[in-house]
């Protein structure tokens, strides 16, 4: 999967060597905010610094000291005003600038040319560096310049550098099944004149950029995610006078920055995320720079570029909106007395609520092996299974109300390959055909669950129509009304840190809906850290719920298998399954005989949000599009009015107008071309279902098999919605539309990458498998999310949705979690 941990969610901090040779920094006073004054530390350094975020969010900075030995300094807590440690030497000489990256297990690893000039590394013994660092280990030949590091699609680090002859080469971590260590050094490109820079495409393929001996920008890329092979070196023919810098735009497109002809800062970008349709021409941003630029995203997703000008003054410029459809800001100087060595930029984490020792204790317990016999028994008022948005929100509300809570999470605080393997399962359907890893790659087992991948967090409430029984949508209708959930929508907005939503705005024949983005996309991880400090809260990471024991109409206990070995047994008054749309149903199916559930609907009515690139529209007036571009924490989309959906017998859908980058890289007036991107509701269908397969996981439990079935109505609704929206835009805005889809070609699928297709893909939104209904013959849980046939077993999350609307599900998940917490504490 693409690396999501590089998305900025706080104020930027910039570290550099000052003109006196000391390490210093300048930082934003708030996310997207102004910049502080320069602060120099009394730490002489002999190399450019490298900064990274620890697994718990604390920043750490590495550099060679004045004696040439690698050293570091780190935040002792999180936040803009966190105190910093003293400078500590790691007692190894390095002969070049260091590079740092976080490995899949959460440990920081620092790479550089070592004492003899050979590429090597040192790594934290445990994530956060609380137990020290490994000794220095060589891993390849002598190298030139600074190496570049990135994680591949399998979670393994790959390190790129120029060997002694200046040829591009790499070394990669071996897969776990082949033992620890690194591959042999492999040459993958030509001789280059500058350090390489690597980044990951949205489909997981790594791509490496550099400047050849003729001064031209070029690149090589993996043909497939995680592939050990590389393409031939391809030159852009653009002449550069500095090494390149690269980052990913908010929409997934890579963008490369460097000094072009005459030293002018310039850039080029992928036309479409993944680069399958090529790259733009080189576009100058006009300002003349010296040295290597640095680039990093702001908290709102806009890229910001930093560099020294010809006078040696540090400055920066930023995209006016995400993707720069409105162009770039003016160049602004920063009052920072720095040298011509490259600067490093990183994001500052939010305030840390948890004792780091408590987090380390929880993770160490998860990693320890327990006896196989005599499972340890734990007790609480409520046992919550799953530490995603539903489970964490629910846990906090219950703790606030005075209950004791035990939270079980199959994964850990960071990524765990053994836990992620439990996601294995087969998937079949018209969009996911030939992509049987949909279930494995579309879910995440660790704290915050799959919301760890939601970038900035797409939040939107359901519309009133979504709850109604619509005669033209079979099996539609919730046993709740919009007014029943209105108070909980306000509480959910407060949880996520933004103002409550207003009613959809009329835009002529259409309505305008708004997505909101939390200031902190890691909000559920922050809530988890806060919970660690609360009395009455227990958590077991690396613990997978396997069996539910029932006595009469009550569940008495749950048995959990531990990734590290051994078992747990949890006894509680009430149990809540909050493990996601797949695992909620799978756990009930695994325990169908023991529970004796009356509902035949477990696993049925699986729903997703098909995502469709419907066409392109050219709008004559760019001003009209401004509400449909990301503005701070909001993005507007279009939808058909209720009356139009009823008249045309259509499902709900949101239509995003995604302006393509201006061809000259600057703000333009007049016509602008946009992608017409649809996120569509799927009609509830009992034949779209989850079942248990023949393969088993490490605990001996059958893996899931998903049959995602789509109806003709689903596709016809997408096509007709696109036609009606285009008709309104043509009539109101004199727009011109080109369609890429048609009614007679349902669900076209032309693969671009593991998670994308040319015209139709998905949102990894798993809904409906334990749907809510008053009658057990029609659903699995009642309106209070109580599993039919029991008195103390509940389900939380999107699996209980009777219909899915067109909104991303996370906001509605949090809404229902607040409501369920109230029901649990009042005897529900």
- Same domain? For 338 and 393 the reply is no
Cα separation, 608 vs 581, in Å, equals 10
- Same domain? For 301 and 435 the reply is no
What is the mean pLDDT, run by run of 10 residues, along the chain of 828 residues? 40 91 91 89 94 85 95 86 91 94 87 96 79 90 95 89 96 70 94 95 90 95 88 92 91 91 93 79 91 87 89 90 82 87 70 60 83 80 98 97 97 86 92 77 90 82 97 97 96 94 85 88 88 93 96 96 93 98 97 92 97 90 74 83 95 91 53 90 97 95 96 95 94 89 76 50 94 97 97 98 97 98 85
**What pLDDT sits at residue 631?**
59
CB atoms within 10 A of CB 13: 21
Q: Which helix (H) or strand (E) holds 703?
A: strand 702-707
Residue 4 Cα distances to 252, 500, 529, 604, angstroms: 11, 27, 20, 31
Q: Give me 259's structure tokens.
A: 């000094």
Tell me the whole-structure pTM to 2 decimals: 0.74
Contact of 807 with 460, CB cutoff 8 Å: yes
- Same domain? For 60 and 199 the reply is yes
- Same domain? For 327 and 402 the reply is no
Nearest Cα to Cα of residue 358 among 610, 474, 530: 530
Contact of 362 with 406, CB cutoff 8 Å: no
Cα separation, 795 vs 591, in Å, equals 14
Residue 7 lies in a domain: no
HSE-up (13 A, CA, CB side) for residue 577 = 34
- Same domain? For 384 and 261 the reply is no
- Same domain? For 228 and 332 the reply is yes
Last residue of a domain, one of 347, 367, 394: 347
CB atoms within 10 A of CB 547: 17
Give the end-to-end CA distance of the chain in Å, rounded to a whole number.
Answer: 39
Last residue of a domain, one of 321, 347, 373: 347
Q: Which residues of 97-123 are buried (b: 16+ CB within 10 A; e: fewer)?
A: bbbbbbbbbbbbbbbbbbeebbbbbbb
Q: Give me 522's structure tokens.
A: 């890691």
- Same domain? For 327 and 387 the reply is no
- Same domain? For 535 and 675 the reply is yes
Residue 201 lies in a domain: yes
**What pLDDT sits at residue 605?**
98
Residue 542 lies in a domain: yes
Last residue of a domain, one of 298, 327, 347: 347
Residue 252 lies in a domain: yes
| Residue 669: Cβ-neighbour burial (10 angstroms; 0-12, 13-18, 19+) | exposed
**What pLDDT sits at residue 416?**
83
Cα separation, 53 vs 133, in Å, equals 16
**Strands (E) located in 470-578:** 505-507, 510-516, 537-541, 543-551, 554-562, 567-577
**Strands (E) located in 4-75:** 12-17, 22-27, 39-44, 50-53, 59-64, 69-74
Point out which residues pair with 407 in neighbouring strands: 384, 539
- Same domain? For 378 and 404 the reply is yes
Residue 633 lies in a domain: no
Contact of 549 with 594, CB cutoff 8 Å: yes
- Same domain? For 295 and 410 the reply is no
Cα separation, 610 vs 762, in Å, equals 5
Nearest Cα to Cα of residue 560 among 549, 552, 550: 549
- Same domain? For 683 and 785 the reply is yes
CATH number of the domain encompassing residue 716? 3.50.50.60
Chain-centre distance for alpha carbon 142: 36
Q: How many domains does the chain have?
A: 2
Q: Give me 159's structure tokens.
A: 């390190």
Cα separation, 118 vs 527, in Å, equals 43
DSSP string, 102-133: E-TTS-EEEEEE-TTSEEEEEEBSSGGGTT-B
Q: Give me 421's structure tokens.
A: 């393997």
Q: Give me 808's structure tokens.
A: 């991303």
CATH number of the domain encompassing residue 30? 2.120.10.70
Residue 619 lies in a domain: no
Q: Give me 192's structure tokens.
A: 């280059």
Residue 1 lies in a domain: no
Nearest Cα to Cα of residue 735 among 655, 667, 634, 825: 655
**What pLDDT sits at residue 165?**
96
Contact of 665 with 324, CB cutoff 8 Å: yes
- Strands 405-409 and 537-541, sheet pairing: parallel
Domain that holds residue 408: 356-610+640-825
- Same domain? For 336 and 365 the reply is no
Q: Give me 448's structure tokens.
A: 């915050």
DSSP letter (8 states) at residue 242:
S
Report the interhelical angle of 810-825 vs 482-496 (nearest 10°): 110
**What pLDDT sits at residue 8?**
43
| Residue 59: Cβ-neighbour burial (10 angstroms; 0-12, 13-18, 19+) | buried
Residue 602 lies in a domain: yes
Cα separation, 389 vs 383, in Å, equals 16
């Amino acid at each position: 999967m693409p690396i999501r941990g590089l998305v900025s969610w706080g104020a930027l901090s910039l570290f550099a060597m000052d003109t006196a040779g000391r390490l210093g920094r300048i930082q934003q006073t708030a996310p997207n905010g102004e910049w502080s004054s320069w602060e120099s530390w009394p730490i002489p350094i002999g190399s450019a610094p490298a900064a990274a975020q620890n697994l718990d969010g604390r920043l750490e900075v590495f550099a060679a000291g004045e004696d040439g030995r690698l050293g570091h300094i780190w935040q002792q807590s999180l936040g803009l005003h966190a105190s910093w440690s003293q400078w500590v030497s790691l007692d190894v000489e390095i002969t070049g600038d260091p590079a740092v990256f976080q490995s899949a297990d959460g440990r920081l690893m620092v790479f550089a040319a070592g004492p003899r000039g050979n590429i090597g590394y040192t790594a934290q013994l445990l994530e956060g560096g609380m137990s020290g660092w490994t000794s220095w280990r060589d891993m390849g030949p002598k190298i030139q310049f600074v190496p570049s590091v990135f994680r591949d699609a399998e979670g393994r680090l790959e390190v790129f550098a120029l060997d002694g002859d200046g040829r591009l080469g790499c070394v990669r971590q071996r897969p776990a099944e082949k033992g620890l260590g690194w591959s042999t050094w492999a040459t993958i490109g030509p001789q280059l004149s500058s350090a390489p820079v690597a980044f990951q495409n949205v489909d997981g393929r790594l791509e490496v950029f550099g400047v050849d001996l003729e001064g031209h920008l070029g690149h090589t890329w993996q043909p497939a995610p995680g592939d050990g092979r590389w393409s031939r070196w391809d030159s852009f023919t653009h002449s550069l006078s500095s090494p390149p810098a690269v980052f990913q735009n908010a929409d997934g497109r890579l963008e490369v920055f460097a000094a072009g002809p005459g030293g002018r800062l310039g850039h080029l970008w992928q036309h479409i995320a993944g680069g399958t349709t090529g790259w733009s021409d080189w576009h100058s941003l006009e300002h003349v720079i010296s040295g290597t630029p640095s680039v990093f995203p702001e908290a709102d997703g806009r890229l910001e570029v930093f560099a020294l000008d010809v006078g040696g003054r540090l400055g920066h410029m930023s995209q006016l909106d995400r993707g720069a459809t409105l162009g770039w800001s003016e160049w602004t100087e920063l009052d920072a007395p720095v040298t011509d060595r490259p600067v490093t930029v990183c994001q500052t984490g939010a305030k840390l609520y948890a004792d780091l020792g408590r987090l380390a204790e929880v993770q160490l317990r998860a990693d320890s092996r327990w006896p196989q016999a005599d499972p340890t028994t734990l007790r609480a008022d409520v046992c919550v299974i799953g530490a995603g948005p539903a489970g964490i929100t629910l846990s906090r509300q219950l703790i606030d109300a005075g209950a004791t809570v035990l939270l079980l999470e199959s994964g850990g605080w960071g990524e765990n390959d053994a836990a992620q393997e439990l996601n294995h399962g087969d998937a079949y359907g018209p969009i996911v055909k030939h992509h049987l890893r949909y279930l494995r790659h579309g879910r995440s087992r660790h704290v915050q669950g799959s919301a760890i991948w939601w970038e900035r967090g797409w939040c939107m409430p359901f519309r009133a129509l979504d709850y109604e029984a619509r005669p033209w949508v079979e099996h539609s209708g919730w046993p709740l009304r919009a007014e029943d959930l209105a108070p909980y929508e306000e509480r959910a907005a407060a949880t996520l840190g933004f103002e409550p939503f207003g009613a959809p705005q009329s835009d002529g024949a259409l309505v305008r809906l708004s997505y909101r983005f939390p200031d902190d996309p890691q909000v559920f991880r922050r809530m988890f850290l806060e919970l660690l400090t609360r009395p009455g809260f227990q958590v077991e990471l690396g613990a997978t719920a396997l069996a539910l024991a029932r006595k009469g109409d009550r569940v008495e206990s749950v048995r959990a298998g531990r990734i590290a070995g051994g078992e747990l047994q949890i006894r509680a008054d009430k149990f809540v399954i909050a493990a996601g749309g797949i695992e909620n149903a799978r756990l009930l199916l695994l325990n169908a005989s023991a529970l004796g559930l009356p509902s035949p609907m477990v696993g049925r009515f699986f729903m997703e949000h098909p995502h469709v690139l419907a066409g392109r529209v050219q709008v004559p007036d760019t001003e009209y599009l401004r509400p449909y571009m990301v503005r701070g924490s909001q993005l507007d989309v279009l939808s058909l009015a209720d009356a139009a959906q009823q008249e045309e017998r259509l499902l709900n859908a949101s239509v995003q107008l995604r302006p393509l980058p201006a061809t000259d890289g600057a703000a333009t007036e007049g016509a602008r071309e946009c992608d017409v991107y649809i996120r569509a509701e799927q009609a509830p269908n009992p034949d779209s279902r989850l079942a248990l397969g023949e393969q088993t996981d490490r605990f001996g439990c059958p893996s899931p098999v998903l049959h995602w079935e789509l109806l003709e109505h689903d596709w016809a609704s997408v096509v007709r919605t696109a036609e009606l929206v285009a008709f309104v835009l043509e009539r109101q805005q004199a727009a011109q539309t080109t369609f890429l889809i048609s009614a007679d070609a349902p669900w076209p699928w032309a693969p671009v990458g593991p998670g994308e297709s040319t015209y139709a893909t998905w949102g990894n939104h798993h809904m409906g498998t334990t749907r809510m209904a008053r009658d057990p013959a029609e659903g699995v849980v009642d309106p209070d999310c109580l599993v039919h046939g029991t008195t103390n077993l509940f389900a939380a999350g999107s699996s209980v949705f009777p219909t899915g609307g067109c909104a991303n599900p996370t906001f509605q998940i949090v809404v229902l979690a607040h409501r369920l917490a109230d029901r649990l504490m009042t005897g529900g």
